[in-house]
Structure formats: structure tokens, C-alpha cells
Structure 1
Amino acid sequence: MSTTEQVVRTIAETAIENEKFFGDLDAVVGDGDFGYSLARGFEKLLEGWDDLDRTDAGTFLKRTGMVIASRIGGTSGPLWGTAFIRAGTAAGDGELTGERVVAMLRAAIEGIKTRGQSDVGDKTLLDALVPMTDRLEGELGRGASAPEAIRAAAASAREAADATSGMVAKRGRAAYTGERSRGSVDAGATAVAVIAERISETWK
């Protein structure tokens, strides 16, 4: 299994295993369907796993994004689907260097910002994804090995996700609760942290 496949599979399995946890987090200020939606979408991905086009990493990620966009319900589907499709486009068909992976994450972030009309500070998954990417880029830039850089990036994602509890939600269903959204972490940002930690643990 290629590194890209390994990472996507880890994301899918982590989303499915944490269905209840992510749903409970979302239920505090959202409608509680985040965990369910994510798990169902990634289950569909794993059901058709063997049929996904593996011509190269970019094609594989784009196909993954299309399945996710069409199978995850609610607002999450378009956002997560767009992230994979944009990352796949940035991946191209070349060698996946650390620099290329950072570019893929940046492309995913831009896709989410555009699609969700959101930015850092709105209490969304971007609040974990952006600091994680910044840290990854910084660590790789100073010559850290891939496992070291991923471990550091996961730690930054966790720290940033935990910090969302102090924010007021500006996007998604949680935005309707205004000040009440303060005091609980964002489910999407926490999902990014949990997934990053799992990738770090299983990195070969």
C-alpha cells in the first residue's frame, strides 16, 4: 500500500472509530450529526476501496474526494470532499516530497476556506488544520525527519483544537448559538487533531 493510501485509510478508520465521540462533541452546540455523517462517508469509501483509481497519488485523492463529497451528509461532505480533491490536484503525478505534501495541505485549506466561506478564528476545522500545516512546514524546513515533523504537527493540531473552546463559532450550525458556543471545543478541529495523532502513531 502506498503512503497516500495508508494515510487515507487511517483517516477513514479513525473517523469510523470515533463516530460517537465526534458526534457527542458536535451535539454540544451543533446538531450532533457530524460523527455520523463522517463515519458513513468513510465507510462508503472503504466499501469501494479496491475499485479506487490508483494511477498516481493525485488521482487517488481526487477519486477519494468525489466519494466523500457525495456520501457525507450535511455541511461536512462538500468541505472534506473539496479538501481531498484540492490536495489531489496539488499532488500531481510526481514524487510526494515533504514540500509537495505541505503544498497539498495548503491547497486543501484554500479549498475549505472558499467552500465554507470561513477562515482561521471562526471555530472550524481550519483552526487545527492551519497551525498543523504551519508546524509541519516549519519542522521539515529545519530538517526534521518525516516522523518527527508529523509528531510535532499532530501536537500543534491538538493544542490548537483544544484552544477552540475559548472561541465563539462564526460558521456552521454552532454559529446560531453565539456566546453559548464558547467553552466547548470544535468537533471538526478536534477530528483533525485525533486523525493527525493517529497518522503520527501509525506512520511507517
Structure 2
Amino acid sequence: MTEISQSQIERAIQTTCKTVLRNELYFSDLDGLAGDGDFGTSLATGYRVIQNDWNDIDKSNIGAMLLKISMLVSKHVGGSSGPIWGTGFMKAAMLSKGKEAVTLQELTDMLGSAIEGIQARGGAKLGDKTLLDALIPVHETLKGHCASANPDLGRALCDCADVAEKAIEETKTLVAHRGRASQVGERSAGTPDPGIVSIAVILNDWCKEFGVERTATAAEVLNQPA
């Protein structure tokens, strides 16, 4: 049985903090193409708190840790991102309550529950040009790996990063139907969604952190700050 330990999840979260903080201005610049230009700053504000409070976060089990992170994100991330990302963490926490490790299937279920929560909270669906256009394909990819007799976590992570990156290009021509970008109508077409880019960049950085070899191809991932 393939398991993901709590320490691995902790590393992934710490890597996410570093990624978000490093890309604060970059994500905001992307958001400024069709939105109000505060996505990167809003996200970084919350993840900076997570990073600063890391030693005080309850790590007695995965669920407790994710629940606390959910609370910090909901409280400190501004705009619509706070409730959306906070809800995702909260739903994942509910399925990992009391666990010190999760199987790939359990992790997949956690992401599925997070997606359902995000959809219920924000009303977005696939094709609305939001981070769901990256998360839903990632979820489908994980489900495919769960069906394997001997799933390879590294391969699964690489494939997830690939589909998230693919979502950047596939949604670029779409008109946004949710978030601030939806208010500019047709002007949102031809611009990348910063939420989708953030998921792709985070997954790419997870690959680096866990020694998974892959080559990014999307300009939005390649152009992120080193």
C-alpha cells in the first residue's frame, strides 16, 4: 500500500509557503492583466502567517494540522481567495482527522472533497477559468493512478504537474465567469488565470522538492522568479 506520511505533507505545505511568497509580485502581475492585481499579495499574506506560525501549528495528526491551516488561510488571505482556499483545506482536514499517514486513494478523496467544497462555496465549475480548471484534472489524474496495482507517487506527482500546466494554455482563450476577472468580460480572454498558474507552479515546485524529474514547458511556469 502506497502511503504519504505526515512529514511529506508538512514538506509540501512548507514548500507551498515558499512558492507563494517568492511569487507574490508575479502572481499579482498576472492577476493585473484582467483582475484587480491583488491575488499574489492576498495569497502571500496568509501563507506568510502560516510560515511564521509554523512551529505553533498543531501537528498531532494531518487533519488537525490542515484544519489549523484552513483557519489561518480563511482569516488572513484577502479577497475571494481566503474563503476558497480555506474551504479546500477544511474539507481535506475532515477526511484526514486523526491520521498520521494517508494512502494515495485517501489523498485523492481529500482533494475531491476540497474541490466539492470550493465549488459549493464559490459556485464555479469546470470551464469558468478558475483554479478548478487545474484542480479537477489533477483529481482525475490521481484517480487514474489509484487504479494502478502499484501506484508510483513520483509518477503521479509529475503527471499532476503536467495536467495543471496544460490547463494554463487550455483556459487562456476562455472568458472568465467567476472572480474579479469575470467583470471585464471579453478582455479576460487571452490572459492566463493566476489561480490556475499558482496550482501549476506549486506542483512544479513540489516535484523539485521531492526529487521528481520533469521539464516545465508553459511560459507562465518557466518565467516565475527563481
TM-score (norm 1): 0.96
Name stretches of at least 5 consecutive residues in structure 2 with no aligned partner. Answer: 1-5, 212-226
CA–CA distance in structure 2, aligned partners of residues 116 and 39 of structure 1 = 20
Q: CA deviation at 1:4?
A: 1.5
Give the aligned partner of residue 183 of structure 1.
190
Q: Which stretches of structure 1, 4 residues or longer, exceed 4 Å deviation after superposition?
A: none
Q: CA deviation at 1:140?
A: 3.4
SS in 1 for 2:138: helix
Query: Is the contact made by 1:79 and 1:116 (CA closer than 8 Å) also made in structure 2?
Result: yes
Q: CA deviation at 1:92?
A: 2.4
Q: In the alignment, which of 75, 80, 86 is matched to residue 85 of structure 2?
A: 80
Give the aligned partner of residue 119 of structure 2.
113
1:12 aligns with 2:17: yes
Q: CA deviation at 1:117?
A: 1.0
C-alpha deviations, 1:147-197, integer Å up to 9, x for none? 111001110110012211011100011001111110011010110110011
1:158 aligns with 2:165: yes
CA–CA distance in structure 1, aligned partners of residues 131 and 200 of structure 2 = 9
Letter matched to residue 13 of structure 1: K
C-alpha deviations, 1:95-117, integer Å up to 9, x for none? 31000000010011011101111
Give the aligned partner of residue 28 of structure 2.
23
Structure number with the higher helix fraction is 1
Name stretches of at least 5 consecutive residues in structure 1 with no aligned partner. Answer: none
Give the aligned partner of residue 138 of structure 1.
144
CA–CA distance in structure 2, aligned partners of residues 200 and 116 of structure 1 = 29
Q: CA deviation at 1:144?
A: 3.3
Give the aligned partner of residue 169 of structure 1.
176
Letter matched to residue 42 of structure 2: S
Give the aligned partner of residue 196 of structure 1.
203
Q: CA deviation at 1:132?
A: 1.1
Give the aligned partner of residue 54 of structure 1.
59
CA–CA distance in structure 2, aligned partners of residues 21 and 53 of structure 1 = 31
Give the aligned partner of residue 68 of structure 1.
73
CA–CA distance in structure 2, aligned partners of residues 179 and 107 of structure 1 = 32
Deviates more, 1:14-23 or 1:141-150: 141-150
CA–CA distance in structure 2, aligned partners of residues 154 and 137 of structure 1 = 14
Identical-residue share of aligned pairs (%): 39
Q: In the alignment, which of 134, 141, 154 is matched to residue 128 of structure 1?
A: 134
SS in 1 for 2:32: helix
